[in-house]
Amino acid sequence: MYLEEQLISFIWWNTSLSFGKKRNLEDESRKVIFDTINKFTSSDVDCIVLTEISEEDVKEIRVECNLRGYKIRSIFDKVGKTHFDFCVIYKNATLEILGQPIKIDKIVNNKSYKLGVRVKFFEKNSKEIFHTIFSHWPARIYGTDIQKRNEMSARLRFSIESDIIEKYRADELGEPFIILLGDYNEEPFSVHLSENLKSTRDKFLVKKKPDLFYNPFWGDLSLKENQQHIGSYYFKKGDITRWYTLDQIMYSHAFVDGKEWEVVDFLDRIMAFPELFSLITDNESKLDHFPILGIIRKVN
C-alpha cells in the first residue's frame, strides 16, 4: 500500500570543484556543475550531497544556483592534516537535519583517515529518522594499501553497529533506517565493501539478514542498452578499462523489509546527462564523476 507515492530522493556527487581549498575546475566546467544542481532542484530532488568542494564553492553555489525552498549546510570538519569536505542541499519542506554532523575517523600509524560523516535527518511527513553516512575514501593511486583500507572499512562498520544498530536494538526501536552514500574508490565487489561493510547485491538475503546492506550499484558494472557509460567514474588513462563504479548508495535492512519505507529499484541510477558525459570524457577536463541517484518510497 502506497500513500500517494511519497518519495524521497538523494543525489550523491563528487563534483571535482576543488581539492582542499584549491580550485580545480575552470569557469566553463563550473557552469555545467551549477546548471546540473539547478536541474536537480528544479526537479524537486530532496537531498543533494556534494564532495570535493570548498567553502568558496559553497558561496558560489548560493549565488549561482536556484535554492528556493532548500537549505544548504557545509561540513568542513578537520581530521588530522586534512578535513571533510561535504555540502548538503536539502528540501526544507521535507527534511530537517537533527543536531550536528558526527565525524567518523581512524588513526593508523599516526595518520588520520576520514571514514565518513553521520548526518541524522528528520523526515517531516512521516516523522521518521534517517541516518545517513557520507564517505569519500582516498584513491588507491595515492598509495593507500590493502591493510589500511581493511581497517578503514572495518572501523566504519563498527561505528555503524555500535552507534546506531545496537542502540536501536537495545532500546527495542526496531531496525534503523540507514543510508550510506559515498565515493569509496572501491567497486561493489571489493572485500572492503562486500565483506567488511557487509553490503550485497542480494536483496532477498538482506530481507532475511538485518545486518546486511543492499547495494543496487552492482547493476552498474556492465553496459546497458542505449548507454555509453559503464560506471560512475571515468579514468582517462585506463589501459584495460576506463570505467569504474566507485560512487554508490547502500541501504540498511529496514529499507528492504519494506514495512514503512522501501528502496526503489530502477535502471538509471547514474545521472549521465549528455553535457556531463561530454565533459567527463574530454581529455582536457578534470571532471571525472557522474552524480548518482537513490530513491526511497513510503509504504504505509
Cell 542498452 belongs to which residue? 225
Q: What is the pLDDT of residue 25?
A: 87
User: Which H or E run includes 262?
Assistant: strand 261-263
User: 3-12, 127-136, 149-158: lowest mean pLDDT where?
Assistant: 3-12
Give the pLDDT confidence score for residue 264 in this predicted structure. 97
pLDDT tens-digit readout, 92-127: 999 999 999 999 987 767 777 889 999 999 999 999
pLDDT for position 142:
53
pLDDT band with cut points at 50, 70 and 90 for residue 5: confident
Report the first-to-last Cα separation within the chain, whole angstroms.
6
List the single range of 49-58, 134-143, 248-257, 286-295 with lowest mean pLDDT: 134-143
Q: Are 163 and 155 in contact (CB under 8 A)?
A: no
pLDDT at position 194 over 70: yes
- pLDDT at site 3: 44
For residue 16, pLDDT over 60 is answered with: yes
pTM of the model: 0.95
Distance set, CA 72 to CA 63, 88, 89, 169 (Å): 12, 6, 4, 32
> What average pLDDT does the segment 200-216 reach?
97
Mean pLDDT of the 53-76 span: 97
Cα(242)–Cα(58) distance, integer angstroms: 30
- Does the pLDDT of residue 1 top 50, yes or no? no
Domains recognised in the chain with CATH numbers? 8-298 (3.60.10.10)
141 falls in which pLDDT band (50, 70, 90)?
Answer: low
User: Rounded to whole angstroms, how far apart are CA atoms 272 and 45?
Assistant: 16
- Say which residues have a Cβ less than 8 Å from residue 167's Cβ, sequence separation at least 6: none
Say if residue 138's pLDDT is above 90: no
Which grid coordinates are listed for 173? 526501536
292 pLDDT more than 60: yes
